[in-house]
Amino acid sequence: MAERPYIVGNWKMNGTRAMLAQARAIDRAAQNMMKVEVALAPPFTLIHAVHREVEQIGVGAQDCHPGPDGANTGDVSAAMVADAGAKFVILGHSERRRDHGESNALVAQKAVAALQAGMRLILCVGETEETRDAGKAEAFVTRQLKASLPETLESPADSLTVAYEPVWAIGTGRTPTVEEIGAMHCAIRALLVDLYGAEQAAQVRILYGGSVNAENARDLLAADEVGGALVGGASLTAENFLGIVVAAADTVDS
Ligand code: PGA
């Protein structure tokens, strides 16, 4: 477990202003658990409101457009989400790859735009069930990560977090074993060492995501090279999400 675990809630397409009370409750509790870095990625429409409501936790976006501005109806640029208060952006989530046909190359372009806007990246990768069953998960994920990263990244230690999210584990209640997660995270770490050198790579946190909840968090967070969690469904209420944050805090103590 990394020195300061990073627990990020991805609200996906959930939340109206009524949900700001959850963000406030998460923020208050996080103020008493400083050994865990806590963040939320609400939908675009709530970024500014969450940013204004919270003091301690990080606020980020779930996507951004690769371009600076222009005739792109319905799209939101990196500078816009940064202006709304986002300090990081989740890129390459499998739901965007699946529902919007996002390629690795597009994810890399978005990453460049996000960095230019001064935000950190949470770059998501993960294999389908067929790929895992075929024994090709690690080869697929490392290739996907390499192709989704910007060509140059000045200070990965400050700007990059990787999230390993097996597609078949997202929202399904199923997770890989602790050994499988550890093996994948070690493969990702080895790629990062190759790309950025040992010193920078050691400081990039690799999150696990996919059906993390308060009950399984302790085990999943104990897997090799896991530096935190990217949480979907269980981040929608303060009660569920804080159960995971408490589990992360416990791993720092032990
Ligand atoms: P889940 O989603 O926790 O609901 O499985 C995780 C994610 O997609 O980031």
Q: For residue 78, what are its two tokens?
A: 């990196």
Per DSSP bridges, beta strands 6-10 and 228-231 are parallel
End-to-end CA distance of the chain: 10
Phi-psi domain of 92 (left: phi exceeds 0; alpha: psi -120 through 50; beta: other): left
Q: Which domains does the chain have, with CATH numbers?
A: 6-253 (3.20.20.70)
- Which ligand 1 atom is at minimum distance from the Cα of 209? 6
| pLDDT band per the 50, 70, 90 thresholds, residue 3 | confident
How many A from CA of 71 to the centre of ligand 1?
32
How many A from CA of 3 to the centre of ligand 1?
23
Mean pLDDT of 73-82: 98
Mean pLDDT of 134-160: 97
**Ligand 1 pocket mutation, candidates 7, 10, 40, 91, criterion most atoms within 8 A of CB:** 10
Per DSSP, helices labelled H in the chain are 20-30, 44-53, 78-84, 94-99, 104-116, 129-133, 137-148, 156-159, 178-196, 198-202, 217-221, 238-253
| pLDDT band per the 50, 70, 90 thresholds, residue 197 | very high
Active site residues: 93, 165
- Which ligand 1 atom is at minimum distance from the Cα of 163? 9
Mean pLDDT of 106-114: 98
Q: Measuring from atom 6 of ligand 1, which residue has the nearest CA?
A: 232
Q: Measuring from atom 2 of ligand 1, which residue has the nearest CA?
A: 232
List residues bridging with 230 in a β-sheet. Answer: 8, 209
Residue matched to tokens 């584990």: 169
- The C-alpha R_g of the chain, in whole angstroms, comes to 17
Res. 100: pLDDT tops 70: yes
| pLDDT band per the 50, 70, 90 thresholds, residue 173 | very high
**Ligand 1 pocket mutation, candidates 230, 236, 240, criterion most atoms within 8 A of CB:** 230
| Average pLDDT of the residues of the chain | 97
User: Torsion angle of alpha carbons 92, 120, 161, 164, nearest 10°?
Assistant: -20
Percent of the chain as helix, strand, coil, to the nearest 5: 50, 15, 35
How many A from CA of 171 to the centre of ligand 1?
5
- The pLDDT, as a whole number, for residue 254 is 55
How many A from CA of 34 to the centre of ligand 1?
24
Over 44-88, what HEC string results?
A: HHHHHHHHHHCCCCEEEECCCECCCCCCCCCCCEHHHHHHHCCCE
Burial zone of 218 (CB within 10 Å; 0-12 exposed, 13-18 middle, 19+ buried): middle
Res. 253: pLDDT tops 80: no
